[in-house]
Amino acid sequence: MPQLPLERHALLRSTDLDDMREVAGRLFRPHRLDLLGGAALDARIHHARVRDVSVSFIGYGADVRIDTSPLETFFAVQIPLSGRASVRLGGDQVLSARGTASVVSPADPMRMLWSSDCTQLVVRIEREPLEARLSDLLGAPLREPLRFTPAMDVGRGYGRSWFRGLELLVSELEHADSLIENPLVAHRFEWTLMSALLVGHGSNYSSMLRGEVPAAPSRAVGIALEWIESQPKYAHTTASLAREADVGERSLQLGFRKHLEMSPMEYLREVRLRRVRDQLRAAQPDAVTVTEVAAEWGFLHTGHFAARYQERFGEKPSETLRRRYEQPHAFLPFVD
């Protein structure tokens, strides 16, 4: 990486506080910027954008304090390259220096103190596409806004891996003939940075991304049960039931296992078997066949259906149909 990143994309070099406040406010959010101490401002901004991700190199050349309201529409990852910054995000405090980045979520009000020698790469990622990417990874709609852990170790582990990807992007942006100018390549870079941040850095969705999916609550399971019971002939799938219950597929499966000791599709089959039995009990043998009734309820393989029916009820479906006809005047309560 060059001594000053993104030099080809220099946007501002100024000693005027108002200039810096105005330009940085356009790139991020209107904010309060105050000089601390007697040093003069020597500010610079280099800035480049790749679709829904932008990267800025920022330095003030003086001790400054920055106050801003919540970002609302985007996330920001701030990586010091030199110097230090104290970053307060709501009730959290991050002491940020080389190797430790601060990660700002959209709901966080922010106060920062930058040392005079502090320079940072600031990555802006738009909220809507990042949360859409998270939803894709989870295979389910988000139940609450995404919120990252405020401090990120970019000196080792997944954080370092993510930072290497960012360094590659910055390096490519230095060259006019880079493939990053190609929209397909730019999309892949953006997709990789977003996905790696979601998977590699802590958030309120980390456990779900690791596959540690919580079981759906009884309320969600109840909604799915109502759909099955009220429309048993409908071509339900686990995915369609999960959408109606507003949970993920895996979460719904775990909820059914927890509360009913069966899967959603096993429960649907159980309901249909009971409906077949009710219909056979009420039918006349010369009016319908077992095959017709079974097919009406979605059981198209007669052999498999008959085996499941006998396992569940202790008699063949043909016996259920015939027994009702052979004992028309007897009434014996039957308990499943």
Structure confidence at residue 282 as a pLDDT band (50, 70, 90): confident
Which of 11-20, 33-42, 209-218, 224-233 is predicted least confidently? Answer: 209-218
- Give me the pLDDT at residue 249, please: 86
Query: Do the strands 53-59 and 119-126 form a parallel or antiparallel pair, or are they unpaired?
Result: antiparallel
How many Å is the maximal CA-CA distance in the chain? 105
CA distances from 260 to 120, 215, 216, 230, 242 (A): 54, 12, 12, 18, 16
* pLDDT single digits (tens) 259-274: 999 999 999 999 999 9
Q: pLDDT tens digits, residue range 112-140?
A: 999 999 999 999 999 999 999 998 888 77
pLDDT band at 327; cut points 50, 70, 90: low
2 close to 57: Cβ distance less than 8 angstroms: no
Span 195-203, mean pLDDT? 95
Please report the pLDDT score of residue 323 as a whole number.
73
Q: What are the residue boundaries of the structural domains of the chain, listed by start? A: 7-209, 218-261, 274-326
* Band (70; pLDDT cuts 50, 70, 90): very high
Higher pLDDT, 282 or 97: 97
Residue 334 pLDDT class (50, 70, 90 cuts): very low
Q: What is the predicted pLDDT for the residue at 141?
A: 82
Structural contact between residues 172 and 192, judged by C-beta atoms closer than 8 angstroms:
no
Determine the Cα–Cα distance for residues 75 and 127; give it in Å rounded to an integer: 6
Residue 320's pLDDT is 85
Q: What pLDDT, on a 0 to 100 scale, did the predictor assign at position 300?
A: 84
The number of beta carbons lying within 10 Å of the beta carbon of residue 102 is 28
Q: For residue 151, what pLDDT is reported? A: 97
pLDDT at 329: 42
pTM of whole model > 0.75? no
Token pair for 105? 């979520």
CA distances from 239 to 140, 226, 264, 299 (A): 9, 15, 10, 21
CATH of domain 274-326: 1.10.10
Quote the CATH superfamily of domain 7-209: Jelly Rolls (2.60.120.10)
